[in-house]
Amino acid sequence: MINDVNTPIAFLHNKRYLLLLSIAFAIYWLAWAIHPKYFTNWLVENTLLLALVVFLAVTRRRFPLSNLSYSLIAIFLALHTIGAHYSYSEVPYNEWFKALFGRPLHGGRNMYDRLVHFSFGLFMAYPIREMFLRVARVRGFWGYYLPLDVTMSFSMLYELIEWAYAACAGGDAGAAFLGTQGDEWDAQKDMAVATLGGLISMCTVALVNWKCDRNFGDEFRESLSLADGDRPLGEVRLAEIRGRTHGK
């Protein structure tokens, strides 16, 4: 499921696709950058987006991702861009739904933030998995668990960033950025739906690999067994280091 970008033809294909995707997203982002509802919050939200885009740009030549990963990242950022424009708790998706179908999607709480948190897990777990497979060379069980674990960690980190900014900004700006809408368990629910999205993503990838890769079961079992000659760490490793030090 990962493009072979080591060959010149594949790399050229990847480069052309990424260029077109980047242009399309830049036009999309510029359209949503016009007259955001809360300019200060828009800047903060897009600081996070810019950090991710810069990271992808800096690492592109040394570590090009697959077209699939770049596409999933772009979809998530597209959803995030809408939330940044309006503020997550005020995205008028009910009005859009009513204009199209003659009735609102639902009443009550604005659920757009839940959608984006879910989408973070659903769309970002796969690019994270690709990094683990290609950089850390993980395999089997760890190729599915570790991306989910990191997805959960980033979801928690974002909630901490929200809390820190809201505490510093205070007032309406802090409340708009936090977007709890009166729910004291908002942060926990956001992390839960992000975890659910990541779990669905990794289960889907595992199912595809199980269906298509005849070595899936063997690799999964081997990833949960110790390598030959492997020894415990902790005090065992410390004793080895001390023994080498004293032996000099």
CB under 8 A, 24+ apart: contacts of 59-64: 60/18, 63/131, 63/134, 63/135, 64/5, 64/11, 64/14, 64/15, 64/18
In this structure, what DSSP letter does residue 33 have?
T
C-beta neighbour count of 96 within 10 angstroms: 12
Res 34: pLDDT: 96
Res 16: pLDDT: 87
CA distance 7 to 159: 41
Confidence of residue 35 (pLDDT cuts 50, 70, 90): very high
CA distance 140 to 210: 11
Res 227: pLDDT: 73
pLDDT tens-digit map of 168-179: 876 666 666 666
Res 178: pLDDT: 63
Residue 156 pLDDT greater than 80, yes or no: yes
Contacts (Cβ under 8 Å, ≥6 apart) of 241? none
Mean pLDDT confidence for 12-27: 88
Q: At what angle do helices 112-131 and 186-212 cross, to 10 degrees?
A: 40
Closest-CA residue to 116 (of 159, 78, 172): 78
Closest-CA residue to 198 (of 163, 160, 156, 161): 156
pLDDT tens-digit map of 52-89: 999 999 998 888 899 999 999 999 999 999 999 998 88
What the block records as the tokens of 108 is 């009550």
Res 183: pLDDT: 73
Task: Please answer whether residues 60 and 96 qualify as being in contact, where contact means their C-beta atoms are separated by less than 8 angstroms.
Answer: no
Confidence of residue 3 (pLDDT cuts 50, 70, 90): very low
**How much is the pTM?**
0.84
Give residue limits of the domains in the chain.
8-19+39-224
Residues in the chain: 248
CA distance 191 to 248: 51
Amino acid in position 168: C
| CA within 13 Å, CB half, 3 | 23
Residue 215 pLDDT greater than 60, yes or no: yes
Contacts (Cβ under 8 Å, ≥6 apart) of 4? 10
Residue 181 pLDDT greater than 80, yes or no: no
What are the b/e assignments for 30-69, b being 16+ CB within 10 Å? eebeeebebeebbebbbeeeeeebeebeeeeeeebbbbeb
Res 4: pLDDT: 42
pLDDT tens-digit map of 92-149: 999 998 899 988 887 788 899 999 999 999 999 999 999 999 999 999 999 999 999 9
Mean pLDDT confidence for 225-246: 78
